[in-house]
Amino acid sequence: MNLSISNLTPFSSLLFGILILMFPKLINYLIAFYLILTGLIGLGILR
């Protein structure tokens, strides 16, 4: 299995979901980081 941007998003969503269940107080930081990362990828700044 090759890792690319198209299948990195589901893996990161799964990871963030598990982390939110383990550490619910970090949910705001995790969501902010995820949104910033997906925004940068969507704009083409990160590949």
Give me the pLDDT at residue 14, please: 80
Domain boundaries, the chain: 12-43
Give me the pLDDT at residue 41, please: 81
Give me the pLDDT at residue 3, please: 63
pLDDT, one tens digit per residue, over 9-35 is 777 778 877 877 888 777 788 788 888
Give me the pLDDT at residue 33, please: 83
User: CB under 8 Å to 20, separation ≥6 — which residues?
Assistant: 26, 27, 30
More confident call, 21 vs 4: 21
Q: CB neighbours (10 Å) of residue 38? A: 16
| Structure confidence at residue 5 as a pLDDT band (50, 70, 90) | low
- CB-based contact 12:34 (threshold 8 Å): yes
